[in-house]
Structure 1
Amino acid sequence: MAAQRSCDGVSRRTVLAGAGGVGAAAVLGGGAVAQPAWAAPAAGKLPLPDKAELTVLLTGDAGTGGDGQWAVADAARALCERRGVDLAIGLGDNIYENGPESDTDDEFRIKFERPNTGIDVPWLMVLGNHDTSGIIPGSGGWPSRGDHEVAYHRHSARWYMPDRHYTVAVPAGSGDPVAEFFAVDTTPLSSYVLQTDPEYYWDGPFARRQRAWLEESLAASRARWKFVFAHHPLRNNGTHRNAGEYEGISCGDYLSGKHVKELYEEVVVGRAEFLLAGHDHSLQILDTAAAYRGTQQLVCGAAAKTSGRADEPSNKAFWEAYETLGFMLLTVNARQVVIDAYTVDPGTHAYSHAYQHIRTERLPAA
């Protein structure tokens, strides 16, 4: 049965979307905000899994608080109850339209905690363009606003975002983990407006630190399978298109995503088996194209709404879906990674198994 949704009244985001910058600035510049009861984890953080085979729920672009999000969350909860789940990954755009106004904003309850009730595992989260916006919803032009989501890590048992970029290895504490997940913040590199804070310029201190960290972390990893996950994809047959030509734009340092492309192609390609992303509201299991040296792109951003296919898609795919809500489930062990794609009926909240892809080839050890 679908979980019941209570009426929480009109969201502050609806009222303030047009003046998001002013409202958030008041919070950022004000005093401490009292922590509401719903934001305080009763028993600390949910533990990271300590096992050599794990099941990972993959969702993206979920945080609308609307019917589409609830349909996918209800379907995923039902499947996870049947199959079991050890981790979940949220691929950005966690709090539409502009991101939270503080680390105790009730949007966390409305758009994350309540819909995902019952999926009680650590949720590895990354920032999206809608999480880091000001006056223009979805612009990604206020990266420091993402600090609220990092700070929320302290308040929630499920929400896992200790920093804007981080790694999680499974089994926890193992010298030879079966999987390692590398969270990356791509939003400063591909905003819809020019960045005004020098910290978050495309070639600024944050971008340089993150790149160095990612290079070192991938080189040091002894995991059998490596997963880099971020909001923006490298390859994408949806309407946002490939990095370097996002929205059909190939010039400029931000909108085109050319510096996202550089980061992925120069640091990630050939070093991680999988690149996981959302941003496009579709489901795609792309091939392991030789030009990308075995790094396979998954796009999973249909956890609340859908978008269409590019007019002239350029990437080979094992399977794609553009007009349906859905999510994916990854089953990972030392032998293989199994990717199961599920579509969701928005009326009944029922899931249907749509496709299965199995990968056994890992990249050569560095």
Structure 2
Amino acid sequence: MSIRPFAFVLLLGLGACATDPAPRAAGKPAPVTEFLAFGDHGYSLDYLDAEDLTPPKTEADYIAAARAKWLKEKRPAAEFTPGPISIVQGSAVAASGMMPVARAMDGWCRAHRCQFGVMLGDNIYPDGPTLGADGRDDARRFQDIFMAPYGKFGWGDPDFRIYAVLGNHDWHTSRAAALSEVKFLSATRPFYMDGISYAAVPKAAAGEVEIFAIDSHVLLAGEKVLEDKLADDGSEVATTKFETSEPWTVPATPAEKAMAADLEARLKASKARWKIVIAHHPLWASAGGKFRQSEALRRAILPIVCRYADLYFAGHEHTLEVATDDCRTVTAGTTQPPLPHIVTGSAGKQRPLNTAFMAHQARNNPQYASLYARGMVWGFSHVRLQGDTATVTMIATPNDGSGATDVVFTQDFQRRSGFTR
């Protein structure tokens, strides 16, 4: 059974401006680069958590539990929707969007250009690779969760790559297990990794683009992150209790401990026209459950990305969101355009927005502008770069699993890294 949920969408002021692109040789058009962005895809019904199946739940049980969780998380009751449901081993569970979104991306890229992709973490649910700890073979898992949906991506382009980062779920079992995923993605086309934090120049983009990948889960494990708490009206409640990190995720090597500094050095040295930062965790999000992680991440890297980056992509929240940060809190007096911030974490799972929380977040943070936000949706993003303009398109696919595509939002942004600060 598939339930078509009410999808709450917020479409707000479109404030991105544009100026003339940098001069080019007369008669020579600016090259075009186009790519996919998607995250949190790795939720497969073949690899469910035991608690999803035991005890078995009827559809009514599942919906009742989803409603109780919705209210516990201080979401407006009138907006409740349980999302699409599948029956696995006699139990109702959340349906998987992994293959529907993969089909949607394949169809989109057959009609549009896709020269590379970025994959934004939580690539394997529930616990990442396990090295056999769950009685399952990781080689089979990699085939099912990476190669089955994306192994044939490329559409005839031998240079097509999917540049990946890890997310918190990829780290759940152990450091050795997480690094086995890095090893697989480093060695297996069309994927690309070069450690957990790296910079890469996509060959297909002809030097116009450089990608800067960071492992935000490891970075945050080295920071002090307060636990989240919301009041009944969706406002933030001050707490003094900190999150605890799994010990194997705490920065352990010199490179891991210097991840933010290395990001700054790489961005500063880059000669690429477009500098794109990818990570699992967002700097801002609208679901209301992980805002303290975003606060900590902003403290760690916002001054860096505000100064040097053109675009920031993340997953973690299973939503589609486009926003900007005008960087006034970290770069006073800047002449740069606002930093575009794209959350595209709905390639496998769905999560609702918390509109009550969003209202408080917008009121208390004038530097932040939410242009589009949609929860309880499967989807992905497509970006077109030409000259000094990035066109970000958010694409949804329906709960019927057909892989049909629906363009739900498009916005142009201006390149930032060429501006005098």
- Report TM bin, short chain: 0.7 to 0.9
**CA shift at 1:117, angstroms?**
4.0
Identity of aligned residues (%): 24
Report if aligned partners of 1:189, 1:259 keep a CA contact under 8 Å in 2: no
Determine whether 1:323 maps to 2:368.
no
Q: Which segment drifts farther, 163-172 or 77-86?
A: 163-172
- Taking a change above 3 Å as real, the CA distance of residues 202 and 148 of structure 1, as seen in their structure-2 partners, is closer
Q: TM-score, normalised by structure 2?
A: 0.64
SS at match of 1:268: helix
> What's 1:189 paired with?
219
SS at match of 1:285: strand
* Matched letter for residue 357 of structure 1: Q
Match of 2:309 among 272, 288, 305: 272
> What's 1:128 paired with?
167
* Matched letter for residue 299 of structure 2: E
Q: Which segment drifts farther, 96-105 or 346-355?
A: 96-105
SS at match of 1:127: coil
> What's 2:14 paired with?
none
Report if aligned partners of 1:178, 1:334 keep a CA contact under 8 Å in 2: no
- Taking a change above 3 Å as real, the CA distance of residues 53 and 365 of structure 1, as seen in their structure-2 partners, is farther
**CA shift at 1:275, angstroms?**
1.1
> What's 2:153 paired with?
119
Report if aligned partners of 1:239, 1:307 keep a CA contact under 8 Å in 2: no
Determine whether 1:358 maps to 2:412.
yes
Give CA deviations for 1:194-224 in whole Å, capped at 9, x if unaligned.
Answer: 3424xx5369744323223212101101222
Report if aligned partners of 2:340, 2:413 keep a CA contact under 8 Å in 1: no
> What's 1:12 paired with?
none
**CA shift at 1:97, angstroms?**
1.0
2:186 and 2:301 map into 1 onto residues whose CA distance is 30
Determine whether 1:57 maps to 2:36.
yes
> What pairs with 1:1-366 in structure 2 (closer than 5 Å)?
52-66=31-45, 67-102=96-131, 105-120=139-154, 121-134=160-173, 142-171=174-203, 177-190=207-220, 193-197=244-248, 200-201=249-250, 205-242=254-291, 245-246=292-293, 259-291=296-328, 294-310=338-354, 311-313=356-358, 314=361, 315-347=368-400, 348-363=402-417, 364=419
1:65 and 1:260 map into 2 onto residues whose CA distance is 29
> What's 1:5 paired with?
none
* Matched letter for residue 123 of structure 1: I
Report if aligned partners of 2:33, 2:205 keep a CA contact under 8 Å in 1: no
The two structures, once aligned, show a CA RMSD in angstroms of 2.5
- Taking a change above 3 Å as real, the CA distance of residues 154 and 188 of structure 1, as seen in their structure-2 partners, is closer
2:152 and 2:176 map into 1 onto residues whose CA distance is 31
**CA shift at 1:143, angstroms?**
4.1
- Taking a change above 3 Å as real, the CA distance of residues 152 and 82 of structure 1, as seen in their structure-2 partners, is same
2:357 and 2:274 map into 1 onto residues whose CA distance is 32
2:198 and 2:220 map into 1 onto residues whose CA distance is 20
- Taking a change above 3 Å as real, the CA distance of residues 333 and 173 of structure 1, as seen in their structure-2 partners, is closer
**CA shift at 1:75, angstroms?**
0.7
Give CA deviations for 1:281-317 in whole Å, capped at 9, x if unaligned.
Answer: 0000002424366322110000011111133212421
SS at match of 1:302: coil
SS at match of 2:328: helix
* Matched letter for residue 312 of structure 1: F
Report if aligned partners of 1:230, 1:278 keep a CA contact under 8 Å in 2: yes
Report if aligned partners of 2:116, 2:202 keep a CA contact under 8 Å in 1: no
Give CA deviations for 1:109-165 in whole Å, capped at 9, x if unaligned.
Answer: 11111012432231100000000002xxxxxxx444321122113541111112111
**CA shift at 1:360, angstroms?**
2.5
2:253 and 2:151 map into 1 onto residues whose CA distance is 38
- Taking a change above 3 Å as real, the CA distance of residues 145 and 205 of structure 1, as seen in their structure-2 partners, is farther
SS at match of 2:211: strand
Report if aligned partners of 2:115, 2:204 keep a CA contact under 8 Å in 1: no
* Matched letter for residue 130 of structure 2: E
Higher relative contact order (Cα pairs below 8 Å, separated by 6+ residues): 2
* Matched letter for residue 132 of structure 1: W
- Taking a change above 3 Å as real, the CA distance of residues 326 and 277 of structure 1, as seen in their structure-2 partners, is same
- Taking a change above 3 Å as real, the CA distance of residues 125 and 365 of structure 1, as seen in their structure-2 partners, is farther
SS at match of 1:115: helix
Q: TM-score, normalised by structure 1?
A: 0.73
**CA shift at 1:266, angstroms?**
3.4
**CA shift at 1:53, angstroms?**
2.1
Q: For the pair shown, which has the larger CA radius of gyration, 1 or 2?
A: 2
SS at match of 2:263: helix
| Unpaired runs of at least 5, structure 2 | 1-29, 46-95, 132-136, 155-159, 222-242, 332-337, 362-367
Report if aligned partners of 1:149, 1:161 keep a CA contact under 8 Å in 2: no
Report if aligned partners of 2:42, 2:124 keep a CA contact under 8 Å in 1: yes
Report if aligned partners of 1:188, 1:195 keep a CA contact under 8 Å in 2: no
1:52 and 1:144 map into 2 onto residues whose CA distance is 41
Q: Which segment drifts farther, 265-274 or 178-187?
A: 265-274
Report if aligned partners of 1:287, 1:317 keep a CA contact under 8 Å in 2: yes
2:322 and 2:205 map into 1 onto residues whose CA distance is 30
